[in-house]
Every structure is written in C-alpha cells, then in structure tokens.
Amino acid sequence: GQNIDQPTEMTATEGAIVQINCTYQTSGFNGLFWYQQHAGEAPTFLSYNVLDGLEEKGRFSSFLSRSKGYSYLLLKELQMKDSASYLCAALDSNYQLIWGAGTKLIIKP
Amino acid sequence: IAGITQAPTSQILAAGRRMTLRCTQDMRHNAMYWYRQDLGLGLRLIHYSNTAGTTGKGEVPDGYSVSRANTDDFPLTLASAVPSQTSVYFCASSDSRTGELFFGEGSRLTVL
C-alpha cells in the first residue's frame, strides 16, 4: 500500500531551527510536496522536490532522498507565525497526491 | 485575485438532507479536486476531475457525487447526509505546469 509517515507533533523555540521528517512509500514517484496549514485555514504551498538534494527558499529548505524514500523540511530562525501544521505529500505514478496526516509545530517563546 | 471560492463556509445539516458544496476557480486550471480533512488523518481525496466533462473517484467517494460542466465550477453533492460526513471539505485545483495545488478556504460541514 501507499503510505506517508511524519511525526504528529513537534515543539521548538522561537529563533531556533527545526527539522520535520517525512518518509514515503508509493507506487512510483513523481515528486514530494510540503504544504503549510495554519489552524482553521487552507493549506498553502511551500516546496516541491523531484530530484535528490536540498532546495532552499529563504528560511525554509526541503531535502529529498529518492533512494531512501525520505524528505525533510528545515525551518530556520523560527518565528511565532511558523506555528502551524506541515503536510508532506508524495505524487505517485498516476500523478495522484498521497498525503501524510501532518506535523503540528508548536513554537514557544 | 479570487483563486478558488468555496461556499458555504460552514453549514449545520440534518441527517438525510441533500447538500451541495460549491467550488469555483478563476485560474483556468484543468484539474480540480475535492478533499475532506478530519482530525488526525491526512487529506483524503473524494473525487477529482482532470478536465471539464470528466470526473473520477478518489479514496473515499461513497456518499458523494460531483459534476464538471465547465472549467470553472466543480460542485460536490451529498445526496443524503450522514453524521460520518461531518468534516472540513477543501476544493483545490492544480497548475499543470508545476503540479502545485491551490486550495479554497474550506467548508466546515456538521451533520447531526
């Protein structure tokens, strides 16, 4: 079956760095997405990786290892507004998105 | 710039009633989707449409139907609502160049 695993909840301190991991098992693979979702709001796009390596975009970076079925989202210089759920999703061979349950990130002052 | 508009934002519905959630996009995206999101679970695909005139079943299609008469509109209908359909429903469309999904603000449905 197809499956995405990510931690349910993480806590970090304002100004620090946090890494949210995601492992995936899919029928074929056409890329890995990260979305941010604030409570009561819609998910918004953060990043897309299809090749191995690190993609950096400001304070946020995303890493992919296709051979390991593994990705992580790295958030630097954490701000209180980064408190949200972070959703990992893999695109399978049929170009359908398989979603993880999301990681709730709590930022403490 | 509207993007994707969903209506209603929230609704309380008696079991057995029929309900249509509306979704309209102005980005001319071909592909559109309906997801439900429940606490502790990931987004689950209900139905999708790759282009106007075609629809397909997702992971949890039972009790729901969709239509895609044109590019912009993709309504979701619950023919006879049941309490297990209490959820937050998100409509989305995707940019065919990047695969990025754009979501509506969601419709919170409570079936009593």
Residues B24-36 have pLDDT tens digits of 999 999 999 999 9
Closest chain A residue by Cα to residue B43: A99
Q: What are phi and psi of A82, to 5 degrees?
A: -80, -5
Residue A74 touches partner B, C-beta closer than 8 Å: no
* DSSP string for residues in chain B: ---EEEE-SEEEE-TT--EEEEEEESS--SEEEEEEE-TTS--EEEEEESSTT--EE-SS-TTEEE--SSSSB--EEESS--GGG-EEEEEEEE-TTT--EEE---EEEEE-
Average pLDDT of the residues of chain A: 95
Q: Closest Cα to residue B36, out of B88, B78, B94?
A: B88
Q: What is the pLDDT of residue A21?
A: 98
Mark yes or no for CB contact A35/B101 under 8 Å: yes
Look at residue A26 in the predicted model and tell me its pLDDT. 94
pLDDT at A43: 96
Closest C-alpha among A101, A99, A97, A88 to residue A36:
A88
The pair of structure tokens assigned to A65 is 């290892």
Name residues 16-35 of chain A within 8 A of B (Cβ). 30-31, 33, 35
**What percentage of chain A carries pLDDT values higher than 90?**
92
pLDDT digits 0-9 by tens, A34-49: 999 999 999 999 999 9
Once rounded to an integer, what is the mean pLDDT over residues B12-26? 97
| 3-class DSSP assignment, residue A104 | strand
